[in-house]
Structure 1
Amino acid sequence: MTLTLLTFFGTLAAMEGVAWFAHKYIMHGFGWGWHRSHHEPRTGIFEKNDLYAAVFAVLAIILIALGNAGWYPLQWVGAGMTAYGVLYFVAHDGLVHRRWPFKVVPRKGYFKRLYQAHRLHHAVQGREGCVSFGFLYVPTIERLRRQLRALHGGPLRAKGAATGELGAEGGDAADSSAPAKTP
């Protein structure tokens, strides 16, 4: 039981590192062809970027199946991946991008910081010079703004653009309690 819980929660925690790495080096690297759709106005319910969730889901299903076939710890690795996927789906797709029916903009605490950090990630046009590649771990907004200013070399989306992203300083829209516009 203890090994099971350690495997499950260890995988759940480790997935943030895996997601950060995949987001920075795969999605903003050679996998930009799929991920680009996430940085552009969405037309319809789905975007090509959703294929990444499908890939991770297939991997989790395979691990759970292998666990059920006798490679017992793999079942809980797959379950931890699935739990991370659910948290990602609720926090990132639901809260940040409002792809869910509820349209809540957090006004304080961790969820506000999560929301603001992802807005800063989308402040840059294109795949270069972005900040905040994690999905659930969030550095301070001040730190992300400093990183954005230090890294930025390309054009930023104008404040109030179609996706409601931030201006060059990561200012008003991230600090505002008013909802940003998302497709």
Structure 2
Amino acid sequence: MEILIWIGIFLTCFVAMEFMAWFTHKYIMHGFLWVLHKDHHRKDHKSWWERNDAFFIFYAAISMFFFMSGLVPYGSAIGGGIALYGFTYFMVHDIFIHQRIKIFKKANHWYAKAIRRAHKIHHKQLGKEDSECFGMLVPPLRFFKNK
């Protein structure tokens, strides 16, 4: 029974991170910490590293806290759910969508197309205002239509 609780907490944290990513992206990255996120919306930066990558460090630190603290029951499940979401986000956002590592170029699946369409619409706006599609793994339904 203990393992089922651990798995449930792990999966709940992974799913909840999609909401956290949406909330953080919409209200923090496109809000008061736009100074860290704006280089991600521009193509004129010259480094592989973006200031936007600092958000990854923040969530990695939170995940490590839960793994290492021992203060929270099932901390490894919480930290693991956050870490798996971070890895998934990196694979989808940085590798699949933005091609920071040139693989998965020809993915032609209906879900992959929907994620790319939604993210393309998000990056259509170069400023912090008037953007849409702030989530990552659950794009709005309209992007699942064939075009």
TM-score (norm 1): 0.73
Give the Cα separation in 2 of the matches to 1:92 and 1:32. 18
Unmatched tracts of structure 2, length 5 or more: none
Code of the aligned partner of 1:78: G
Q: CA deviation at 1:64?
A: 0.8
Give the Cα separation in 2 of the matches to 1:60 and 1:142. 31
Code of the aligned partner of 2:60: A
The share of aligned pairs that are identical, in percent, is 32
2:30–2:37 Cα contact (<8 Å) kept? yes
Code of the aligned partner of 2:94: D
Question: Which aligned runs of 4 or more in structure 1 are off by greater than 3 angstroms?
Answer: none
Structure scoring higher RCO (CA < 8 A, sep ≥ 6) equals 2
Does residue 1:132 correspond to 2:133, yes or no? yes
**1:1-183 paired onto structure 2 within 5 Å:** 1-41=3-43, 42-66=45-69, 69=70, 71-102=72-103, 104-141=105-142
Change (3 A) 1:124 1:70: closer
Code of the aligned partner of 1:15: M
Unmatched tracts of structure 1, length 5 or more: 144-174, 176-183
Aligned residues: 142
Higher helix content, 1 or 2: 2
Change (3 A) 1:104 1:7: same
RMSD: 1.6
Give the Cα separation in 2 of the matches to 1:80 and 1:142. 27
CA deviations on 1:73-109 (whole Å, 9 max, x unpaired) are 1221111000000000000001110011315143331
Give the Cα separation in 1 of the matches to 2:78 and 2:143. 35
Q: Describe the SS at the equivalent of 1:112.
A: helix
Q: CA deviation at 1:142?
A: 5.5
1:178 maps to none
Q: Describe the SS at the equivalent of 1:71.
A: coil
Q: Describe the SS at the equivalent of 2:50.
A: coil
Q: CA deviation at 1:24?
A: 0.2
Give the Cα separation in 2 of the matches to 1:127 and 1:21. 14
Code of the aligned partner of 1:85: G
1:160 maps to none
Q: Describe the SS at the equivalent of 1:98.
A: coil
